[in-house]
Every structure is written in C-alpha cells, then in structure tokens.
Structure 1
Amino acid sequence: MPLTEEQVRQLAALSGLEIAPGHLPGVIRNLEVLQQQIALLFADPVDPVIEPAAVYRP
C-alpha cells in the first residue's frame, strides 16, 4: 500500500521528528520497502517440499 506525504508527516510528528521536504520522497520509498519486507516476514512459510534454487557458480 503506497504511503502519502501526509501519512509520513503524521508518523514523523508522532515520533517527534522533522523531515526536510527534500528528503520526504526518499523516506516514503524507504518506508514502502520496509512494508514489503514486513509482509515477507509474516507471509506463510515456504513448503518444505519445494526444491531449493540452483547454485550459482561464476
């Protein structure tokens, strides 16, 4: 779910932080990546029957 600038400003205010306007797009992108990583953490576990990927050897 994409975050809006207003949501990030509210989160920053709740945390007692100030975010410079020039840094806001980067903060939003980093929070979106964090949301994706959290979703992976809480996703269903991988089936143990699934074979692992091939080994990469350069």
Structure 2
Amino acid sequence: MSASEKARAKAEQAVGKAVQAAGRATGNEKLIAKGRAAQAAGHARETKESLKDTGRR
C-alpha cells in the first residue's frame, strides 16, 4: 500500500468518525449516516490497497 493511499484511507475514516460523532451530538440522523458512509469508504479503500499489495508479493 502506498503511503499516500494509506494516509488517504485513514483520513477518510477519521473524517467519518468525526462526522458521525457530530451527528450523534446533535441528534442528526443524516450526519450519522454520512459519517458511517465515509468510514466505510475509508475501510474499503484500505482493503483494496491491501489486496493490491498482496497480489504484488
């Protein structure tokens, strides 16, 4: 996994966690859902890059 892609995946996960927390604090269901979606996108990107690395070995 390239360092930039790994950082991008972790950043997406962190943003998602922050948005989800903001949604919970305000009781906004849409924000909670957006946060979960951003976290899922970060996890998917991380998994994709890990699979690419595994294929290169």
Output the TM-score relative to the length of structure 2.
Answer: 0.42
Structure with max Cα Rg: 1
Output the TM-score relative to the length of structure 1.
Answer: 0.42
Greater relative CO, 1 or 2 (CA 8 Å, sep 6+): 2
